[in-house]
Amino acid sequence: MDEQHYLDDLRKRREVNWPKHLPKEAYYPFGKKLLSDYLEEHAHRTPNKASTIFYGRELTFAELNEKSSRFATYLSGIGIKKGDRIAVYMPNCPQFIIAFYAILKIGAIHVPVNPMFKEKELQYELTDCDAQVIVTLDQFLTLINQVKDRTTLHTIIATSLSDYLPENPTLPIPDGMTQKVQHTEIDFEQAIASSSSTYPHVDRSLDDIAALNYTGGTTGLPKGCMHTQGDMCIQPPRQRPLA
């Protein structure tokens, strides 16, 4: 069976078995816009609403939009262009989200790296995706410097989890999160503070690759799965309009 016959057969099977209560068309709450446009829309409609809450520290949509725009300007200023891969090597935290939107705003590609990776795994993924820049936690710098010369990295940007912890956390803070490692790499917060929020705009479309998310490698070496801007905007239907 050739590819076209396979796809036709797949569509027919899907049509027959599709649950009747589910919509067949993709749903875009604000229309077919870029993912970064969605952030700007939220920042306009609900600027003071929390986009993330990190141990009680709220980052509003307006702040997320502003910080990601500034970081986008910084990345562009160091030569990052549309299609370049930027590795983000950290767990879930506000900086991860800021970096994600900044990367997309200039048409670059976000490559999340598993924060549990060790030397061989890290080197493989950085080399496979041809990453130019890595945004990471200060506590991972020793490991990154061990593999840097065997990759295409030219810039390392470091941050600390403690930078976004509130004075009065609402949850217990795990050991090590309040520690800040001294380093000589580019500081994430300083890069944001020193940059303008007017980042260079490039032509982008919903079909552009937004992210390369790597598989777990259960059937061989991990492979980068391509996710487009359009894919990542789709949301389940809502019963009421977005606020």
Q: Mean pLDDT, to the nearest integer, of 96-125? A: 96
Q: Put the strands of the sheet holding 209-214 in their side by side order.
A: 186-187, 155-159, 131-137, 85-89, 109-113, 209-214, 224-228
Q: What is the pLDDT at residue 10?
A: 93
For 35, the domain range is: 25-162+178-196
b/e string for 90-103 if b means 16 or more Cβ within 10 A? beebbbbbbbbbbb
Q: What is the pLDDT of residues 5-34, one digit of tens each?
A: 999 999 999 999 999 888 887 778 888 899
Tell me whether residue 68 is in a domain. Answer: yes
d(CA 5, CA 2): 6
Tell me whether residue 236 is in a domain. Answer: no
Tell me whether residue 206 is in a domain. Answer: no
Range in 38-42, 97-101, 153-157, 219-223 the model is least confident about: 219-223
> What average pLDDT is seen over the chain?
92
**Confidence check: pLDDT of 140 > 80:** yes
Tell me whether residue 128 is in a domain. Answer: yes
Tell me whether residue 241 is in a domain. Answer: no
Sign of CA dihedral 61, 29, 19, 214: negative
**Distance set, CA 55 to CA 52, 67, 161, 170, 174 (Å):** 10, 19, 11, 5, 11
Tell me whether residue 157 is in a domain. Answer: yes
Tell me whether residue 233 is in a domain. Answer: no
Q: What is the pLDDT of residues 196-210, one digit of tens each?
A: 999 999 999 999 999
Tell me whether residue 98 is in a domain. Answer: yes
**Confidence check: pLDDT of 151 > 90:** yes
Q: What is the pLDDT of residues 19-77, one digit of tens each?
A: 988 888 777 888 889 999 999 999 999 999 999 999 999 999 999 999 999 999 999 99
Q: Mean pLDDT, to the nearest integer, of 123-138? A: 97
Number of domains in the chain: 1
- What CATH number should be reported for the domain holding residue 151? 3.40.50.980
8 A C-beta contact, residue 204 and residue 81: no
Q: What is the pLDDT at residue 236?
A: 55
Q: What is the pLDDT of residues 166-187, one digit of tens each?
A: 999 999 999 889 989 989 999 9
